[in-house]
With several copies, the nearest count.
Chain A
Amino acid sequence: MNDPDEVVKGLEIIKELKKGPWPSYITETEKTRYPLKLYAASLYLKRDLWTTGGYVSVPGVPTGILMRVTSRPDIGESANVVRVYLPSGNFVTSKMLRNLADFADKYGVSMVHAITTSEDFEIPGIPKEKIRDFVAEFRATGMEVGSTGDAFRNTTTCVGPALCEYATFDTPKFRDDFYNRFNDYAKYPTFPHKLKLKISGCPLDCARASQKGDIAIIGSWEGAPLIIREKLKLLSEKEMLEIVNGCPTGAISLKNGELNIEGDLCTQCMKCVKLSKGSILPGEKKKYLLYVGGKLRGKKGPFTAKLVEKMDDPYQAFDIIERIINVYIENAARKERLGDMIFRIGMKNFLDLIEKEEKPYHIKDLRTNIFYKVSEEEKTKMLEELKKSLGGE
């Protein structure tokens, strides 16, 4: 049987995508049994040819397995994709990779998605009828599938202290511990919509926690960064001045060749650390910042995550996360991301719900109108506090 026109023309188009120096996913795909004709036709037609098929339910995988249904069975088959957890920090072994390849060959289309943007493996192209067997057999090799549905999605972290000297805590270990405590929330789809926790070991935020984390933990510190004097000495005057002038708050000064950082003014932006060639590191009094409400779409479009708590120990986050989960389940509408919910009810109310008092660090800027309510009790409280802080002069 001859291929339909759109496939013939489509295959011409994708030939083009094998050229060029950037690694070609088409070249890779040609080595697999993925239905390339379907994809080729969709490029020609400028139209997606897959439709969602919901989830296949599998014993022991309450969130189900994602289905892909072809809208052109004549040129490409439907199939499913299975997500596979990686060890924390995305460290893998060659054994693990070969195992994955074996399963992809046996059950899938000899393709591996390594890795997804949320840092899982995926094995695409597993027919519906083989899913149960796949899951049972695969698990027996010490691997786990999941990370779909309205549940706690894969938790991601930066590589942390395993490779990076900026890390303020062991981020991959934190993920391990997170799963020891919260695995049920990852397994059972009991949320209004997905929840994602992303973790970075320092404010450089290599895990993009501040952008993608419904809940984010970012390691930081209080006061001045740590100066390694003997290394600092190796810098030229010009390099020192660059550090001084780079500081956004003017916290750094240079007097008689001696660099000084006023901890009080430091906002932990890491600029000096970045410019210092290893001679300035995150400060010693660690702080761990818990943010909420980041995401890229939801109903209201992208939000960056907002700071809700400064902790002395990252593990203090666990109880707060538990509270946030409960508040989320109780207050969010269906398919409402945490950030949209907070937006709808207001940060003040959210803080009340998770039982936190408002602090200046909860805001980046202050209100610019006086259209608010002050109750008589609040008036009394305010007056007292103002007297306390201003009275003694």
Chain B
Amino acid sequence: MEGPPRPYTEYIHDMIKRNIGKWKEHRFVEPGIMEHISDNDKIYTIRVASTSNARYSTDTIRKFADLADKYFDGYMRFTGAFNPEFFAKTLEDAKKLKKDLESMGFPVGGWENHLWNITSCAGYFHCALAATDAPSIAKSLGDAVIKYFNKDELPAKFTLAVSGCPSACGGAYLADISIVGIHTEIPIVTENIKSCDLMGTAMICPVGAIQLKQAEKTIEIRENLCIGCGLCVGACSGIIFRTPEKTDGHAVIVGGKASSIPPGTQIGRVVIPFIPNDPPRYELTVKSVLRIIETWKKEAKKGERLIAWIERIGWEKFFEKTGIPFFKQSMDDLDLRSLMLLREGGGK
């Protein structure tokens, strides 16, 4: 067997298998619990908040397996936003399952006009490129906004994403609000540079800060140009971030969304260009996210995604109403070409 285990129909319950393409309707019972209805069957899905960066002990993984056995003959799944999703055959079971999960410390929630998910990358926890620690930010945000996951309504669907650096593995630009780490120090060139593709490395720099020193078989990073984006660090192991004092931070990016519902797919915009890293609880970051959510909740029409509301009232009013200060980094000069192209995108 090469590649993923397949066909997928070998890994699904017969109640699902016989209804592929035959579901007629779904109904939301309460946050996190959905009823799926076909002509002959009904099943329930129960959606669970994952831990930051979806990290689990094998102990918990086995408990998940136990719950799958108990309620759905050993079948479960994970959603595309890395939340565990369980199944039940009756509403009563679904509610029991929810209780079981909650007693394990795993809240059930999401769907409709709620927070659906908080995706996050590995950050300091497991990655070599992090400028900020995504898991601890995701946890701090989760604690602050959980009521929107399993209780209070928002104007529309809402998602959060946290990534430790511009690579955006945990998502960034794509969620309604994203937090992304930004390096602000200049990387340094080490011995290892010999092993890198010099030309390729120079080409990767978005601002042309890398000067090729062909003769010396090395490169030089022009400090006055470098914006510390870290692209070269990821591409070549001979370039690393290493200064005595770290003052990295993260940006708050607002208004991403994927779906076709107007205004269609959107790349988030940089609303706060820089907040210093402040573990464990990142007060200012959390406050800024809450401020945005609460202003949106108060002002938006029902069904209006965050960016739809902002597009209606304009960015000027967004800053006015949220009280978030405006900084010049939010103005785009550096690479308008990209800006353009990304906004263009056909179809949706």
Given contacts A22-B146, A68-B128, A305-B345, contact A104 B260 (CB under 8 A): no
CB-CB < 8 A to A378: which residues of B?
274, 327
- Contact (Cβ within 8 A) B227 A24: no
CB-CB < 8 A to B136: which residues of A?
14, 17, 43
Contact-size category for A: 35 or more
A13 contacts chain B at the CB level, 8 A cutoff: yes
Question: Smallest distance from the beta carbon of B149 to chain A beta carbons, Å?
Answer: 8
Kindly state the separation between the CA atoms of A284 and B206 in the bound complex, as whole angstroms.
45
Kindly state the separation between the CA atoms of A95 and B290 in the bound complex, as whole angstroms.
41
Kindly state the separation between the CA atoms of A239 and B202 in the bound complex, as whole angstroms.
57
Kindly state the separation between the CA atoms of A278 and B28 in the bound complex, as whole angstroms.
12
Among candidates A23, A94, A204, residue contacting B259 with C-beta atoms closer than 8 Å:
A204
CB-CB < 8 A to A148: which residues of B?
none
Question: Smallest distance from the beta carbon of A59 to chain B beta carbons, Å?
Answer: 14
Question: Smallest distance from the beta carbon of B79 to chain A beta carbons, Å?
Answer: 7
Contact bitstring B56-76, A, C-beta under 8 A = 1, else 0 = 111111101110110000111
Kindly state the separation between the CA atoms of A22 and B144 in the bound complex, as whole angstroms.
9
B268 contacts chain A at the CB level, 8 A cutoff: yes
Which residue on B lies nearest to A47, using beta carbons? B246
Contact bitstring A191-221, B, C-beta under 8 A = 1, else 0 = 0000000000001111111111000001010
CB-CB < 8 A to A114: which residues of B?
54, 56, 61, 78, 82, 84
- Contact (Cβ within 8 A) A93 B204: no
B298 contacts chain A at the CB level, 8 A cutoff: no
- Contact (Cβ within 8 A) A360 B279: no
CB-CB < 8 A to B237: which residues of A?
52, 54
Among candidates A54, A139, A205, residue contacting B258 with C-beta atoms closer than 8 Å:
A205
Contact-size category for B: 35 or more
Which residue on B lies nearest to A49, using beta carbons? B124
- Contact (Cβ within 8 A) A248 B262: yes
Q: What are 24 pairs between A and B in contact, CB < 8 Å?
A: A48-B131, A86-B4, A110-B59, A114-B84, A115-B82, A119-B82, A176-B8, A203-B259, A205-B265, A218-B348, A246-B303, A265-B313, A270-B260, A271-B262, A346-B333, A358-B326, A360-B315, A361-B316, A367-B339, A368-B270, A370-B166, A378-B327, A379-B274, A393-B291
Among candidates B55, B66, B281, residue contacting A94 with C-beta atoms closer than 8 Å:
B66
**Which of B19-27, B90-98, B213-221 forms contacts with chain A?**
B19-27
- Contact (Cβ within 8 A) B326 A300: no
CB-CB < 8 A to B262: which residues of A?
248, 269, 271
Kindly state the separation between the CA atoms of A370 and B252 in the bound complex, as whole angstroms.
10
- Contact (Cβ within 8 A) A296 B168: yes
Which of A28, A81, A264: most chain B Cβ within 10 A?
A28
- Contact (Cβ within 8 A) B16 A163: yes
Which of A22, A114, A161: most chain B Cβ within 10 A?
A22
Which residue on B lies nearest to A294, using beta carbons? B345
Given contacts A43-B279, A89-B77, contact A25 B229 (CB under 8 A): no
CB-CB < 8 A to B172: which residues of A?
296, 302
Known: A269-B261, A301-B342, A367-B330. 8 other contacts (CB 8 A): A89-B8, A158-B80, A207-B80, A246-B303, A269-B262, A297-B168, A368-B338, A386-B324
- Contact (Cβ within 8 A) A21 B260: no
CB-CB < 8 A to B105: which residues of A?
23-24, 27
CB-CB < 8 A to A116: which residues of B?
54, 82
